[in-house]
Amino acid sequence: DAGVTQSPTHLIKTRGQQVTLRCSPKSGHDTVSWYQQALGQGPQFIFQYYEEEERQRGNFPDRFSGHQFPNYSSELNVNALLLGDSALYLCASSSQGQETQYFGPGTRLLVL
C-alpha cells in the first residue's frame, strides 16, 4: 500500500518564476492538505482540497493556488516566486471525517 508520494523531491527556481508541485494521496484517501515548512519552523497550513474544491485556506497570498483531480491527486502552484518561498512543501492526505493526516516526504524548493 503506497503512502503519500510527492514530486519532485528537490527543485531550484529563480525569483519571479512559477512552480508546480505534485502530490498523490494514500490509497483510499480523498482529502489533500498542503503545508509550507520554512527552515527551523513548524509546518504552516496553506490549503486543503476535497471533492476537487478548496475547502480551507490558511494565511497565504493568492500567488499560492491549487487543484485536485478526480483521482484525488493534487497540485500546488506558486506564481511570481519570492526568495521567502524557499521551504519544504509537505502534502498530507486523509479521509473525509477522519482526523489523522499522513504526510509525504515533501518537496524542497529553493528560490534564488
Partner 1 sequence: GNSVTQMEGPVTLSEEAFLTINCTYTATGYPSLFWYVQYPGEGLQLLLKATKADDKGSNKGFEATYRKETTSFHLEKGSVQVSDSAVYFCAPPNRDDKIIFGKGTRLHILP
Q: Which chain residues interact with partner 1 by CB under 8 A?
A: 6, 31, 33, 35, 40-45, 48, 55-56, 58, 88, 90, 92, 94, 99-106
Q: How far is the CB of 38 from partner 1 (least distance, A)?
A: 10
Nearer to partner 1, 74 or 101 (CB): 101
Q: How far is the CB of 56 from partner 1 (least distance, A)?
A: 5
Structure-block grid coordinates of residue 28? 483510499
Nearer to partner 1, 13 or 55 (CB): 55
* Rounded-to-integer distance, Cα 112 and Cα 97, Å: 40
Query: 45, 108 in Cβ contact below 8 A?
Result: no
Q: How far is the CB of 106 from partner 1 (least distance, A)?
A: 4
Please list, in sequence order, all residues whose beta carbon lies within 8 angstroms of the beta carbon of residue 78, skipping any fewer than 6 positions away: 18, 19, 21, 63, 64, 65, 85, 109
Question: Per residue in 78-87, is it b (16+ CB within 10 Å) or e — as a string?
Answer: beebeeebbb
Nearer to partner 1, 28 or 42 (CB): 42
Q: How far is the CB of 79 from partner 1 (least distance, A)?
A: 23
Q: How many residues does the chain have?
A: 112
Nearer to partner 1, 13 or 108 (CB): 108
